[in-house]
Amino acid sequence: MGLMPYGFFTIEQWKRPSRNAAAQWCLVEHLNARAKLSDALERLEQRNKPGFYRVVQMQRMVWAEKTEGKVKFRRWHAGTPEDLARTAATFERTGGRSAAIPRPSK
């Protein structure tokens, strides 16, 4: 058996347009990285509400910056929406310079 992708799931529901708004995907729930696709489908079953849904898996976040004329990448698994938000905040705080943050210790 192969490795399972690692990342959090987002369940969204398609909402029809109202009189003054466009149709859009609306958040239903986030499931952290310990969840499986079958867990997301089970949650939808438990909701017992008809509709059109999508389940999106966020696996990786990639920080790309130019160093010495070349684009370099730092890659992490995104375990929760909070992990993603914290990394985005760090990106903003450091001006997109990964050298400004310490590397995780092993």
**68-80: burial string, b at 16+ Cβ within 10 Å, e else:** eeeeeeeeeebbb
pLDDT digits (tens, 9 = 90+) for 13-52: 999 888 888 889 999 999 998 899 999 999 999 999 999 9
What are φ and ψ of residue 15, in 5° steps? -110, 130
pLDDT digits (tens, 9 = 90+) for 57-83: 988 899 999 888 899 888 888 888 998
Taking the whole predicted model, whether its pTM rises above 0.95 is answered as no
